[in-house]
Amino acid sequence: GVAGAAYGASGGGEIAIAASAIVSVLAMILLVPVVVLAVSRLAGRLPLPLRFAARDAARHRTRTVPAVAAVAATVAGVVALGIAVSSDEHQNQETYQPSLADGYGLVTAYGGGVDWPAYRDAVARTVPEDDVSTVQALVLPVEGRGFRQLEVAQPGDTDPLLVSVGGPFASATLVADRLPPGLPGIDATEADRASRVLASGGVVAFASEAVDGDRVVLRTAEYSGRGRVVDRQRLEVAGTYVQVDGDYSPVDAVVAPAVADRLGGRTRVTGLVVDAPITEAAERSVDEALTALPGQVSLSVERGYVADEETVIVQLILAALGAVLMLGGTLTATFLALSDARPDLATLSAVGASPRSRRAIAAAYALVVGLVGAVLGALVGAIPGVAITYPLTGPGSSGTTGGPATYLDVPWLLVTGVVLGLPLLTAAVVGLTARSRLPLVARLD
């Protein structure tokens, strides 16, 4: 099972990992009798209730093994899925790239009937109108079904400056005579320098690495409807470079209106930026005002990374499912064991054991079955859980590039709760509900 998981993680794929999980669980079931016997032999120094429960479980392995195996299989599934879900969420958090400066908002609209003045008035009823700026994107028109693509590069370099470009502005190139507000990762000094370049008719280019120079190359390629290149243009203009964090930027460049004219392009309003932090109450008010207007319009506010509610729900469902299955299997096995152990418990009572000893032994039965199964399940579930993180969160997954070999995140709270918390809870439930006194089974006259 471990070998199959390693093969799947190294390129064999999810099917190999799933098959290795099945092999691992089946192998674990075959080893449960050995583990139960080993636990009984190591229980010599434990208190009487635990020693009694461990050795009785080993004597009646035909009854104990199915219960322990059921608990272990349940925990294995919970741990494997928990590691996969948490690792995927960890990757999302680590690779998250903000589209705007923290707290800033962007109003976008889709479809026909876009009334930007009305949208601006609706926003201005909640936030100061001076804090609302119009975003204009560069449009490169073509005839027919073709399109024109723009690349931004450094003179003498054929590769584009950015590895990943794309954001909420519906265009990778904006047009303005000053740097648009709300672009993430730009300090005041860089913003002032960029605004001066744009005011003088230049270009502000965003790069993944630090670039020195005051000239920027804009390359356009026109494609026909069949994807063939029918025209290429190259324009070198004065400009400046701004380094972004990582390899991503919501836009690749901001060009002055004069540069847009030289490229043969035109401008189109694609959004409204609220260039001041918006409170959650103000966000709700603006969203309600926009919803009342015609068109598909919405407000998004950059709050940093926020965990997906679906991920939290999945983890809660896993914990609840594991709890129900563990409680059911452990309680069934425990009460069957107590029923078989009534003569032994009567003997203990006859030689002076206190009434609470029955409760303690009942709780010990539940603890032994639940804890042994949970530990085995956690160990086995970690095999496919760790392996699946390689194809799930490795380089190239979810559109990411670079980064570590895998984003591994073990949900320790979930694992601790399932492996330790649930067996202890089950033992407490059994200890509280078990009868402390035995009924009279025989009478000697």
User: Once rounded to an integer, what is the mean pLDDT over residues 393-416?
Assistant: 74
| Residues with Cβ within 8 Å of residue 279, at least 6 apart in sequence | none
At 200 the pLDDT is 92
Whether 375 shows a pLDDT value over 90: the answer reads yes
Final residue before a domain boundary, out of 232, 267, 301: 301
Region of 166 (left: φ > 0; alpha: ψ -120 to 50; beta: rest) is: left
Query: What b-and-e string marks burial along 207-231, b requiring 16 or more CB atoms within 10 Å of the CB?
Result: bbeebeeeebbbbbebbeeeeeeee
Q: Does residue 172 sit in the same domain as residue 33?
A: no
At 143 the pLDDT is 76
| Residue 27 domain-assigned (yes or no) | yes
pLDDT digits (tens, 9 = 90+) for 319-354: 888 788 877 777 777 777 767 666 766 666 666 666
Q: Does residue 147 sit in the same domain as residue 264?
A: yes
| Residue 166 domain-assigned (yes or no) | yes
At 164 the pLDDT is 65
**Full domain range(s) for residue 214:** 105-301
| Residue 441 domain-assigned (yes or no) | no
Q: Does residue 205 sit in the same domain as residue 293?
A: yes
User: Once rounded to an integer, what is the mean pLDDT over residues 61-70?
Assistant: 86
Q: How confident is the model at residue 64 (pLDDT cuts 50, 70, 90)?
A: confident
Q: Does residue 231 sit in the same domain as residue 325?
A: no
For residue 47, give the nearest of 404, 401, 417, 360 by alpha carbon: 360
Whether 32 shows a pLDDT value over 90: the answer reads yes
Tokens at residue 154, please?
């450094």
Whether 403 shows a pLDDT value over 60: the answer reads no
Q: Does residue 229 sit in the same domain as residue 322?
A: no
Q: Does residue 111 sit in the same domain as residue 220?
A: yes
| Residue 251 domain-assigned (yes or no) | yes
Final residue before a domain boundary, out of 301, 321, 354: 301
pLDDT digits (tens, 9 = 90+) for 124-178: 888 888 788 888 988 888 777 777 888 888 887 777 777 667 777 878 889 999 8
- H helices within 307-394, ranges in order? 309-340, 342-350, 356-393
User: Once rounded to an integer, what is the mean pLDDT over residues 90-95?
Assistant: 86
Q: Does residue 113 sit in the same domain as residue 153?
A: yes
| Residue 439 domain-assigned (yes or no) | no
Q: How confident is the model at residue 444 (pLDDT cuts 50, 70, 90)?
A: low
| Residue 215 domain-assigned (yes or no) | yes
Whether 212 shows a pLDDT value over 80: the answer reads yes
At 23 the pLDDT is 94
Query: How many domains, the chain?
Result: 2
Q: Does residue 17 sit in the same domain as residue 145?
A: no
Tokens at residue 381, please?
């579930």
Q: Does residue 134 sit in the same domain as residue 265?
A: yes
For residue 357, give the nearest of 343, 346, 373 by alpha carbon: 346
Tokens at residue 435, please?
């009868």
Q: How confident is the model at residue 445 (pLDDT cuts 50, 70, 90)?
A: low
**Residue 176 is which amino acid?**
A
At 324 the pLDDT is 84
Instruction: Name which residue leads in pLDDT, 405 or 65.
Output: 65
At 346 the pLDDT is 66
C-alpha distances in Å from residue 9, one per residue of 179, 322, 376: 45, 26, 22
Final residue before a domain boundary, out of 285, 301, 317: 301
Q: Is the dihedral of CA 399, 400, 401, 404 positive or negative?
A: negative
Q: Does residue 37 sit in the same domain as residue 152?
A: no
